[in-house]
Structure 1
Amino acid sequence: MQEEVQHLAGEDFCYLTTTGRRSGKAHTIEIWFALNDTTLYLLSGGRDRADWVKNIHQQPAVQVRLGPTTYMGRARILARGTEDELARQIVFAKYAARSTDDLTEWSRASLAVAIDLLNEVK
């Protein structure tokens, strides 16, 4: 699957669909991402106050649309450490040159989330 996902790494956004922790309904957001192998990394500026992060705490099974393709995935909130630093570095590197804002503090203060892509939704 790695080869089929890598050509989508340059997409500007992904579309993350979580299951509402109260409603049980699908909720989709547009969000910046970076891809490493078959793991997608996101940063939540709202940290664990963001609804999508709260939803992941309750139900880590998610869907991610990259370009025209949708994948099933399993989300993980990252603790400080090697993978957390990787997430911050690669998301910052992807968007720092594209943004007119200084993203340094955002990349340091945000909550890092990993989504392991499992399979394509047919």
Structure 2
Amino acid sequence: MFLYLTTTGRRTGLPREIEIWFTERGGHFYVIAEHRDRANWVRNIRANLHVHVRAGDRRFAGTARLVDDEREPDLAEAVKALSDAKYGWSDGLIVEITPENSWPVSPESVTARRVR
């Protein structure tokens, strides 16, 4: 299963959606940016922390934040271990997403433009 993360374009203000692997821990969702700060979706998050997420039958608005490996080594290690166990990969910048609310997903409600 993938997570569909919608950010707001930092230049256009338009919704931008990506499909990405994820893990969950302690009520938070974690995604890893392979290209770190070069990833456009990470740049969008730096400009606007508010995101929308679809994962399976869950849909929610949330707040994203970048995890600093040096300041939060225990969290970074735990998230990387989860990702390694689930996908065999964990190299990159960790982004934590905290759900603010949730509602059922309907195909009609997804209006974001998919970008790669």
TM-score, length basis structure 2 = 0.81
Indicate yes or no: 2:60 matched with 1:71: yes
| Residue 34 (structure 1) aligned to one of 23, 32, 36 | 23
Partner of 1:15: 4
Q: Is the 8 A contact 1:72 1:121 kept in 2?
A: no
The CA deviation at 1:91 is: 1.4
SS at match of 1:52: helix
Is residue 80 of structure 2 the alignment partner of residue 88 of structure 1?
Answer: yes
Q: Distance in 2 between matches of 1:74 and 1:121?
A: 16
Q: Which amino acid aligns with 1:78?
A: V
Q: Which runs of 5+ in 1 are unaligned?
A: 1-11, 97-102
Aligned equivalent of 2:112: none
Matches within 5 A, 1:42-121: 42-80=31-69, 81-96=73-88, 103=89, 107-108=90-91, 110-121=92-103
What stretches of structure 2 of length at least 5 have no aligned partner? 105-116
SS of the equivalent of 2:11 reads coil
Q: How far, CA to CA, are the matches of 2:22 and 2:3 in structure 1?
A: 7
* Structure with greater proportional strand content: 2
Q: Tell me the CA shift for residue 68 of structure 1.
A: 2.7
2:84 maps to a residue whose letter is F
User: CA separation in 1, counterparts of 2:102 and 2:80?
Assistant: 26
User: Percent of counterpart pairs with the same letter?
Assistant: 40
RMSD value over aligned CA atoms? 1.2
Deviation at 1:83, TM superposition (A): 1.3
- TM-score scaled by structure 1? 0.78
Tell me, what secondary structure is at the counterpart of 2:12? coil
Displacement over 3 Å in runs of 4+: none
